[in-house]
Structure 1
Amino acid sequence: MQDYCITKLIGLENVIVSNIVETDTHLEILIETKPCHQNCPQCGKRTRAIHDYRLQKIRDVKFREMYTYLILKKRRYKCTSCGKRFYEPYAFLDRYQRHTKRVLQALLVKVRTVNFKEVAKELGLGHSTVIRWFDRYYTYENHSLPRILAIDEFKGTTEKGTYQCVIGDPQGFKVLDVIQDRKLSTLKDYFRSLPTHRVQMVVMDMWQPYKILAQQLFQNPIIIVDKFHYARHHFWALERVRKRVQKSFQDKDRKSMKKLRFLLHKPKEKLTTREQELLQYYLELSSDLKKAYQVKEAFKKWITQSNERNVRSNLEQLYQAMDKSGLDEYQYMKRTFKSWEKEIINSFIYPYTNGYLEGINNKIKVIKQMSYGIRNFDRLRNKVLCSLI
């Protein structure tokens, strides 16, 4: 009864615990099994003849927050038919291993949320051992694409390039794969290896190779530009006007104008009385700044009041406001909008964005910081997928 309780406590069945040795740093549990008939791996005959014993030290998971080793009295049998000598198999230990199966199980669970170094420290393993097991057991292959495909990039740390691509399903909120870079040739090679007939819509940012890729590889897809990526063009244009105007002000106004950035972008209806007075003061100092603010209000009206019926007419009104302002900063924005006009209008017709992938990019950033960067692309890809799938 006592042996049964001990084996249940340490989670090992059909073993005999002969001794437990505790030191300041670790725990050693001496175990053995009962002799029984074994099948010879060479001829298949059953035998009970014991050839010899030897002790093997095996790493196990922590017990009572102490590093734990199993001191196993390994038994070797001899086949009476063919003379083959072989070790007894154990349910808790794989062949040729010096770590129990549950150490591997714990590693594969912990490595999803913790970096390799911390996993090695927690389990008492070598750093290279953790990486080797991770590379062996975590491999992913993407075999299909969804009806609605989202594509975005993140800044990587691997040897493959500055940027890596991540693709996902914005409808099912799934990460599908990570691609080594965002070059058009690489993307074409990747998607040509997959069946693309299901893809009907592609959500992307305003990176031209993505648009070329979708038009060439998919069958007349509906291309949607993520709202954040064209909205920030307006933010950049307004900021360029503010910085240009700010340089022409006197020292007092130039220094205090740093707070104006937040007032310019804050919704007009949410401004306090003091903020309205301050904003009006600066707008009166510069006609260019006043014109830029008027374009900002026109942009806000377009993006908040447009729907699939009036988005095109409202966009034309925004173009007119840009032209009326006469500001060079808005001409680049207008040219960009013109070249992506159809895709921008689609973002008002269909309810899909890259918001989910932007959240995934933030999680990838945390994974990279937690690991202090991962240079091997395949390892980074598998680490991202095992953490997020």
Structure 2
Amino acid sequence: NHTFIEKNPFVSRYLRLSKSNLEYLFRQLGEKGTFTEMAKRSDVSVSTVIRYCSKLAIPKPVQLPTVLGIDEYKGNAEGQMYQVIITDLNNHSIVDILPKRDTRALIQYFKTFSKEAREQVKYIVMDMSPLFRLVMQTMFPHAHIVADRYHVCRLVDWGLERVRKREQKRLVAHSRTLKYNRRILMKNPGKLTESERIKLLEILRISDDLRRAYGLRLAFRKIFRIYSIPNIERYIQLWLNTVENSHLPEFSNFKTSFTSWFPQIVNAFVLPYSNGFTEGCNNNIKVLKRISYGLRHFDRFRVRILLLSRKNSTSYLNS
């Protein structure tokens, strides 16, 4: 009247899944796919996949990288719309995922690291977020904050786009031309075809404001050809004066925002660091979220994201 478990090398005691099947299941958690797809491939139920995913616990890192990237993404997990991703931009790896974008929560998280660990951070790359800047200046007073070049240039592109939309509504006779050729305004002039150059000249001919806005965008892009800090600072000041003299309402806020972020913007064009890797990780997170129709449980979401990072996945599975 007793039940005995057979001893064999391929199934652990009190389990029904073989060791090879469990290893295959855990490896799938580090790939882009839904729990339903993993369950079908592993020949188990969806609840079993979720249960084993919940057993995984990846601890908080002990050290912080020298070049730290921070950004937000829309995760909609645990009742929070935005979560925060922290990356190591030198080694191209994800450091950690935080449950919410909140000043107090971020400060409490970085307080868990020792003072020596926080002093290891020399550069911090972020978008032009006042919340992130406040937290980083508080917790890393000796680190250099770098505004991401893509976000700085995107502000100028958005200014040009707002002028185009205004002129499209005002110039009814040319609205179709301004609407369907908007990509030409954003394209590198050196890569325009002959037909695109003709269309660009036609667009700039029909609107003086659009011509001035396009000139401001081209002038700002010339900053990539300047390398010394004093010359970059001087050029940005000259560009802001030109913006002020253009009297374009869509560019009126650049004087305030660029002045407030002046040291960080200068660092963006002097230092070789950007948040390109972090944005790529955000794209992978969006893909994972989309194919899974959303992941509401933050801990499982965090595990899936960290396992997608190759370094974390390899070190965890080998352990």
Query: By the TM > 0.5 criterion, same fold?
Result: yes
Q: 3-state DSSP class of the match of 2:85? A: strand
Q: Does 1:187 pair with 2:106? A: yes
* Distance (Å, rounded) in 2 between the aligned partners of 1:223 and 1:360: 20
User: Which structure has the greater CA radius of gyration?
Assistant: 1
Q: Once superposed, which parts of structure 1, at least 4 consecutive aligned residues long, lie more than 4 Å away?
A: none
Pairing of 1:61-80 with structure 2 (within 5 A): 76=4
Which residue number corresponds to residue 68 of structure 2? Answer: 149
1:204 paired with 2:126, answer yes
- Using the TM superposition, give the Cα deviation of residue 211 of structure 1 relative to its aligned residue in structure 2, in angstroms: 0.5
Write out per-residue CA displacement over residues 354-386 of structure 1, whole angstroms, 9 at most, x where no aligned residue: 001111111111211222211000110011101
Question: Is 2:18 aligned against 1:100?
Answer: yes
Q: Whose relative contact order is higher, 1 or 2, with alpha carbons under 8 Å and at least 6 apart?
A: 2
In the alignment, the residues of structure 1 paired with residue 195 and residue 122 of structure 2 have an alpha-carbon distance, to the nearest angstrom, of 50
Letter in 2 for 1:207: S
How far 1:273 moved relative to its partner?
Answer: 3.9
Specify the SS of the correspondent of 1:291. helix
Give the Cα–Cα distance (whole angstroms) in 2 for the partners of residues 126 and 275 of structure 1: 56
1:321-364 Cα deviation digits (max 9, x unpaired) = 20121111111123211110100001122111100111111111
The CA deviation string for residues 191-223 of structure 1, in whole angstroms up to 9 with x for no partner, is 111232211211111111110111111132100
1:234 aligns to what? 156
- Measured after TM superposition, the shift of residue 290 of structure 1 is 1.8
Going by fraction, where is helix more abundant, 1 or 2?
2
Query: What CA distance in whole angstroms lies between the structure 2 residues aligned with 1:166 and 1:263?
Result: 34
Structure 2: any 5+ residue segments left out of the alignment?
313-319
* Residue 88 of structure 1: how far off its partner (Å): 5.5
Alpha-carbon shift at residue 306 of structure 1 (Å): 4.7
CA distance in 2, matches of 1:386, 1:278: 48
Aligned residue pairs total: 306
Query: In structure 2, what is the Cα distance between the partners aligned to 1:213 and 1:300?
Result: 30
Matched residue type, 2:274: T
Distance across 2 between alignment mates of 1:176 and 1:230: 25
Q: Give 1:291 deviation, angstroms.
A: 1.5
Give 1 or 2: higher strand fraction: 1
Kindly, what percent of the aligned residue pairs are identical? Answer: 35
When the two chains are superposed, the root-mean-square deviation of aligned CA atoms in Å is 1.9
Which residue identity does 1:176 align to in structure 2?
A: V
Contact 1:154 1:166 in 2 (8 A): yes
Output the CA distance in 1 between the equivalents of 2:39 and 2:109: 34
What is the 5 A alignment of 1:269-280?
269-280=190-201
Q: What's 2:250 paired with?
A: 329
Structure 2 residue corresponding to 1:316, chosen from 237, 260, 265? 237
Deviation at 1:156, TM superposition (A): 0.6
Question: Does residue 1:124 correspond to 2:43, yes or no?
Answer: yes
TM norm structure 2: 0.90
1:214 to 136, 140, 143: 136
Q: Deviations over 1:43-77 (max 9, x none)?
A: xxxxxxxxx886xxxxxxxxxxxxxxxxxxxxx5x
Q: Given the alignment of the two structures, is residue 109 of structure 1 paired with residue 31 of structure 2, yes or no? A: no
Contact 1:160-1:377 within 8 A present in 2 as well: no
Q: Distance in 2 between matches of 1:268 and 1:88?
A: 73
What is the CA–CA distance in structure 1 between the aligned matches of 2:187 and 2:240, rounded to whole Å? 22
In structure 1, how many angstroms separate the alpha carbons of the residues matched to 2:307 and 2:225?
39
Residue of structure 2 in register with 1:260 after alignment: 181
Instruction: Report the counterpart of residue 90 of structure 2 in structure 1.
Output: 171
Seen in structure 2, the aligned counterparts of structure 1 residues 233 and 124 have a Cα distance that, compared at 3 Å, is same
For structure 1, the 5+ residue unaligned runs are 1-51, 55-75, 77-86
